[in-house]
Amino acid sequence: MQNYAPGIFDLFIPSNSGIKKAIKKGQFLINGNIAETGTWINSGQVIELIEDPNNKPKVYKFDIEVIFEDEHVAAINKPAGIIVSGNTFKTIFSALPHNLKKSNEPDALLLPTPVHRLDNQTSGILLIAKTKTAQIELGKQFSNKTIQKTYSTIVVGMVETNLTIKTPIEDKPSETSFEILEVFNSLKHKKLSFLKVSPKTGRTHQIRIHLASINYPILGDKLYGNPETIHKGKGLFLAATEVKFLHPKTFENVVIKIEVPQKFTSLIKREKRRWDTYNEES
């Protein structure tokens, strides 16, 4: 769950030697003029990278639900089981050009870029910058902790009170608040609790670590739970279901919500049905 904003040039030129080659090929412009290795860069100048048609990254043709999209920003519903970005082809980042329209703004990014991360096994709302302005502005909002994210989760055990957890993670201040939505019976786990979680900070695996630290591990968490918390074939019961932020261009309030994943509602209904059936037969 850490803030993420790769440099625009790094998307196509991952090394200093590559940048030097691009300069020699005349791919860099400064205020519209071709830059050379000895060109001085001054504050306020516009630096552009000319796209090399022979150096386009491969697009992963993987369909993703687009929740919101305009010329500046987009929000997608990330499926569980796929990483946002990394040194592999099958990522959300590689699939974005297949799912989003290229921005017509002057500062359009060469590729739409996620501005934060979700864990591999976490599903839900992921914000995407389509312009450099959006990338910078949303990055500031994450740094200033003004973007509000809400998650839905099911944990093992009977949670009895709403709580704010402030246990540091890797010696860094960390804060997670949660609200109880429902507690229900389970034949296997005795009690399961459906929570709405609001992290104020964005440490890696923060929600998973904090809930496990108070003995309420997330259902399906193989890393911070135990063998009894695993729900075979259903993965991790954690989803980002609401995001509030200021639009990076208009600065109007934007609220994006999605429904809780079907596996959540199906599990709750199934556990209640099994409990009732067992008690009727007893």
Active-site residue (options: 52, 119, 171, 276): 119
CB 227 within 8 A of CB 117: no
> Which residues have CB under 8 Å from 55's CB, separation 6+?
12
Cα–Cα distance measured from residue 110 to residue 266, given in angstroms and rounded to the nearest whole number = 40
Instruction: Decide: 98 and 67 in contact? Cβ < 8 Å.
Output: no
Q: Of 84, 149, 69, whose CA–CA distance to 121 is shortest? A: 84
Distances (CA, A) of 78 to 5, 126, 178, 190: 18, 6, 22, 31
Of all helices (H) and strands (E), which one includes residue 183? strand 176-186
Integer Cα distance of 236 and 219 in angstroms: 6
CA distance to 192, 274, 276, 278, per residue, from 281 (Å): 22, 11, 9, 5
Q: Is 119 a catalytic residue?
A: yes
Catalogue the active-site residues: 119
